[in-house]
Amino acid sequence: MANMINLKINNIPVSVPEGSTVLDAARAAGVVIPTLCYLKDVNCVGSCRMCLVEATGARGLVAACVYPAAEGMEVQTNTEKVRKSRQMTLELMLSKHKKECLACERAGNCELQRLSIEYNCDPNYFASDETRHPIDYSAPYVVRDRDKCINCMRCVAACNKQAVGAIGAIGRGYNAHVGSAFEMDLMSSVCVGCGQCVVACPVGALKERTTVDDVWAAIADPQKKVVFFTAPSVRATLGEAFGNPVGTNVEGKMVAAIRRLGNVEVFNMDVTADLTIMEEAAELVNRIQTGGTMPMFTSCCPGWVKFVEQKYPEMIPHLSTCKSPQEMFGGLLKTYYCEKNGIDPKDLYVVSVIPCTAKKYECTRPEMGGEVDTALTTRELARMIKTAGLDFNALPEEEFDNPFATCSGGGTIFGASGGVMEAALRVAAQLLDGDFEVVDFPEVRGTSPIKEATYKIAGKEIRVAVASGLANAKEIIEGLKNGTRHYDFIEVMACPGGCVNGGGQPTLPDSIRNSLDLKSLRAEALYKSDKKNEYRRSSETPVIKMIYDEYFGTPNSHKAHEVLHTHYHEDKRI
C-alpha cells in the first residue's frame, strides 16, 4: 500500500497516496480545478495553464496537473490571482479562435465555451487574428478546422498513443499549430481514421465528416427504401447524448427513435457480427487444419486494417479475409435481402450506425463494392434524433425489425475489447470439438491493453491474444516478428477498450472522462446483455440458420466468399 501524504486544498484537509499531483488531491477533496490540455490516460503536460494554482513552497503559480502534492502543502485554487490568470489565458485563446459557436456542433458541449462563460471572459479583449486557414475536408471520415484549434495538443497525444503519428506540433511561439508532416492534408498522411483525436478534442477543431443531410434526403426520396442497422456498442453509449448514466443500455429506445425518423426499417448489426463469427471461425479452423497462414488476425476493425496496410504490409496474409459486420450487412442486404423482397439494389439506401469514424472510410473502399451507402456515428444519430424533435427518454422500448432482429450474445459483445475473440472461440471450439460446451472465456475480457490465454481444444493448444489500441497491436506484431510472441489467433481493435470507446462515440465533458472508467462501464452493458441472451453462440440463432439454409449454404462457401469476404493490399505512405 502506498504511503499517504497530508495537505490542504482551500483549507480542506485531504490525504492522498504519495506520488499524487495537486490535481489528484483537489479531486479527492471535492474541489474542481479547470483543465483543457489534461486528459486522463492521454495527455498530462501542463501546457494550457488553465489548472494554475497557488501552493506553499512554490514560486508563482503552478500547474496542478503536473505539480506533485507534498506533505503539509497548502493549496489555494480560487484566489483572485488564480482567477485573473485563468481569465487571461482563456481570452488569449479566444483571440485566435474562430468564434462561430452558433454554427459549431460542439456548441453547448465545448470545454472552451463552458470555461469562457464561467470566467466571464470578453472574447474580444485581445485583438483577434483575422488570418483564416482552409478547412481540411480531404478525408471521408474526419474534418479538421485549424482556426478552432486551441493548441492543447490532446489530439497529438491521442495520435501518438496510437503509435500512428499522423499529426503533431508545427512551428513555434505564436505560429505554433497542429498539422500533418509537410502541412499535407489528412488523407495524404498516415492517419488510419480511428477518431481518437476527435473524442480527445475539447473544442470543435476536429469532427466527423457528417453525412446526416444525405440520410435525410434519402428518407425523403419516395424512390428509396431506407434501412438502418446499428452496431453492437451503440446501444450502450447513445443514451449518454440524452443525459443517461454511462453504461445505460438503450437498445429499445434507440430502435424506437430511428423508426420515428421516417419510413425506415431498423435492423440489428449484431446479426452480421454473428455472421462474421461464422465465417471467421470457419476460416480459423481451416487454417489450423490445413496449415494455412498463422497466426490469424481479426479484420473487422478498418482502422486496424489500414494500420497493417500502411505499416506492416507483410502481415496482410495473416488478416482474416472476412469483411467487417458493417460490410457483411451491406452485402447481405444488397443481395439476399433484395432478391428475397424483389428490390432493385440501387433503390435500397443502406445506413450503418457505428461507434467509429474509420467505418466512414471503409464505406468508400473499392474492395467493399459500395454496398453500405453511408455510415453515421453515434453522435450523428443523436443529432438526427434531436433534430426530429423526439423526447428520447420518453420513447417506448421497441424491437428490431425482422428478418434481422435476433442475435446471439456473442454478436452483442463484439463492441468490447475481447468480444470478437470470445464469440469466435465459442464457435471455433465446437467446430474443432463437437463436445466443447464452454461459452464463457473470461480471460479475454476486460480493458487490459494486451490479454493472452491458452485453451486446450480437441487435443490442441490454441494460443490467443487480444490487443486494443494500435500501440499495443504494434507491440504484438513486433513480438511475432522477433520470435518472442507465439499465437494462433489474435483480435485487434484500433480504439483502446474496443468499439465502446470508438472515435464516433458521444463526446463527454472532461469532468466525466477524467473521473469514470468509460470503457469498463460501457462494456459491462454488453456483457449483461450477452449473459441473459437465449443464444450464446453465433451458430445457434434462427436468423443465422435461415441465412445459410436459404442463401450461403455453409460458412466459407463459394457464395459466402463472393459476398462476405474481401482482400487487402499495401498502402504506401511517407
User: Does 9 map to a domain?
Assistant: yes
Place of cell 453522435: 379
Residues 65 and 107 in one domain: no
**What distance lies between CA 217 and its chain's CA centroid?**
27
Together in a domain, 111 and 34: no
The CA–CA distances, whole Å, from 302 to 13, 95, 338, 548, 556 equal: 49, 38, 26, 26, 21
DSSP class of residue 334 equals I
Last residue of one domain, picked from the residues 147, 175, 208: 208
Ranges of H-type helices in 342-418: 358-364, 378-387, 409-412
Please report, for the domain that includes residue 145, its CATH number.
3.30.70.20
Type of residue numbered 536: R
What are 179's strand-pairing partners? Answer: 168
Assess whether 171 and 23 both reside in one domain: no
Note whether 266 and 401 are same-domain residues: yes
Q: Are residues 364 and 276 part of one domain?
A: yes
The domain that holds 52 is classified in CATH as 3.10.20.740
CA distance 236 to 33: 29
d(CA 521, CA 525): 7
Q: What's the domain count of the chain? A: 3
Answer yes or no: do 379 and 480 share one domain.
yes
Task: Determine the pLDDT at residue 574.
Answer: 53
Residues identified as active-site:
280, 283, 300, 320, 359, 362, 367, 499
Q: Is residue 213 part of a domain?
A: no
Q: Contact at 8 Å (CB) between 543 and 406?
A: yes
216 found inside a domain: no
Report how far residue 156's alpha carbon sits from residue 372's, in angstroms, rounded to the nearest whole number: 31
Is 83 contained in some domain? no
182 part of a folded domain: yes
Q: Would you state the pLDDT for residue 400?
A: 98
Q: Is residue 192 part of a domain?
A: yes
Same domain? For 299 and 190 the reply is: no
Using 70 as the pLDDT threshold, list the residues of the chain that sit under it: 1, 573-574
* Largest distance between two CA atoms of the chain: 78
Among residues 175, 208, 241, which one ends one of the domains? 208
Q: What are the backbone angles phi and psi of residue 450, rounded to the nearest 5°?
A: -135, 130
- Ordered alpha helix ranges (H), 226-324: 251-259, 270-290, 302-311
CATH code of residue 232: 3.40.950.10
Residue 339 forms part of a structural domain? yes
Q: In terms of domains, do 259 and 179 share one?
A: no
Tell me if 98 is assigned to some domain: yes
Query: CB atoms < 10 A from the CB of 75, how many?
Result: 27
In which order are the strands placed within the sheet that holds 450-457? Answer: 296-297, 489-493, 460-468, 450-457
| Domain boundary residue, one of 208, 240, 269 | 208
**Pairing state between β 374-377 and 348-354:** parallel
At 1 the pLDDT is 66
Q: Which ranges in 394-461 belong to alpha helices (H)?
A: 409-412, 419-432
* pTM (two decimals): 0.95
Query: What is each CA distance from 240 to 208, 268, 518, 521, 532, in whole angstroms?
Result: 18, 20, 11, 12, 23
Same domain, 198 and 333: no
Same domain, 105 and 191: yes
Q: Does one domain contain both 260 and 386?
A: yes
Residue 94 belongs to what domain range? 89-208
Same structural domain for residues 246 and 189? no
Name the nearest CA neighbour of 93 among 129, 63, 133, 136.
129
